[in-house]
Structures are given as structure tokens and as C-alpha cells.
Amino acid sequence: MESNIKLQPMVSEKSYSIANSSNKYTFLVNTNANKIEISKAVEAKYKVKVEGVNMITRPGKMSKDWKTNKSNRKSDMKKAIVTLKKGDKIDEFLNT
């Protein structure tokens, strides 16, 4: 099941600083993925040991079509903050 999970590294100032200070890496994932699937996918892709996964659902923004005066919402996004075992690193994440 973990093969169809999209792991997109989320690189921002905040995610970069927590990756360096507390060994936590941030990924954008599918909205239907759960913590166990994400943990297995990260371990398989990056060859590291995952200690914990925290999830945040970011609601989609409202947008308005001014011609038809209709409001619609963009799709939700799910962020996963993955804590790795002490000593493990994801070099690819920090280089992008």
C-alpha cells in the first residue's frame, strides 16, 4: 500500500530549521494516507528509522469566481512531520 503514497518534501525556512535542530522532516502527502503507511514509505524510500509521525491537515483556501459570483474551495493538503531516530538524516531533503 505504501508504494502509492506521494512523499513531497516541503522545504521552507521553518521546516529546514526543525530538520537541523530536532531531526524532524516535513512532507506533503496524500489526504487519505495514514501514519503507519507514511512511516513505512519514508523508511523504504530514504533507508532511515522513523520514530514518530505527526499529521496536520491544511484546509484549502476559498476562491471566488467573480464572473459567476460562485465560491469554491481548493482541495485540502496533508502535512506529515516525521521524526527520525537520532543519528539518521535525509540528505536529499536538505539539498533541495
pLDDT (tens digit per residue) in 48-91: 999 999 999 999 999 999 899 999 999 999 999 999 999 888 88
Mean pLDDT, residues 9-14 taken together: 91
pLDDT (tens digit per residue) in 15-52: 999 999 999 999 999 999 999 999 999 999 999 999 99
CA distance 76 to 9: 17
pLDDT, residue 1, reads: 46
For the chain, give every domain's residue range: 2-62+72-95
- Give the DSSP letter of residue 91: H
pLDDT, residue 2, reads: 43
Find cell 489526504 and name the residue: 31
Q: Which fold has domain 2-62+72-95?
A: Alpha-Beta Plaits (3.30.70)
Of 81, 79, 94, nearest to 53 (Cα)? 81
Of 24, 19, 27, 22, nearest to 2 (Cα)? 27
The yes-or-no verdict on residue 94 having pLDDT over 80 is no
